[in-house]
Structure 1
């Protein structure tokens, strides 16, 4: 079991969801986040005051999958999020020690579904 965490551009979310659905991956958590990577932000002026904006809007997607779904989940995220420009995002893959479905008490691969 793996936990896949992806940070993507907000305007690519619908496309990523579509690509994931094509691979039968429908269970996910999505949150808005702020972050800074290679983009390093931008410089802005508001009412004559200069300031740097280095925390940019991103979307964080978390998906717990069984091992046989890892590659196709990653491929779907890349397909949906990639524009070829700096700031497309990052994907992190973490070993998932245990998963428990609260409603039924199922554990492990059965709990992920």
Structure 2
């Protein structure tokens, strides 16, 4: 099993989410985060003072999938997240040793099954 963790721009999130849903991967964890990287800070004037903010807002997407599905998730994030400008984000793929479904106590990759009917049950 693999965990794909992606940090992307806010405007890239919805196209990524929709394609993953259509591919049968509706289970995502989303967090709004801030971080700094190679992009420069944004200088704003507020009440006569100049303020520079070096922390840029991003969306963190986490998804645990079977080993064979990790590249599909990565490709989707890269396809929709890339603008070619500094600050597009990062994608990490991490190994997951074990996973358990809390409701039933099941473990292993059977709890990660892709949902081929997920797109049909999703309402736009």
TM tier, smaller:
over 0.9
User: Could you list the runs of 5+ residues in structure 1 that have no partner in the other structure?
Assistant: none
2:96 alignment counterpart:
96
Q: How high is the TM-score relative to the length of structure 1? A: 0.94
1:62 alignment counterpart:
62
- Aligned residue pairs total 113
1:82 alignment counterpart:
82
Q: How high is the TM-score relative to the length of structure 2? A: 0.86
1:4 alignment counterpart:
4
Cα-Cα RMSD: 1.1
- In the TM superposition, what is the alpha-carbon distance from 1:86 to its structure 2 partner? 1.1
User: Could you list the runs of 5+ residues in structure 2 that have no partner in the other structure?
Assistant: 114-124
- In the TM superposition, what is the alpha-carbon distance from 1:90 to its structure 2 partner? 0.2
SS at match of 2:45: strand
SS at match of 1:86: coil
Q: How far apart in 2 are the matches of 1:80 and 1:20? A: 11
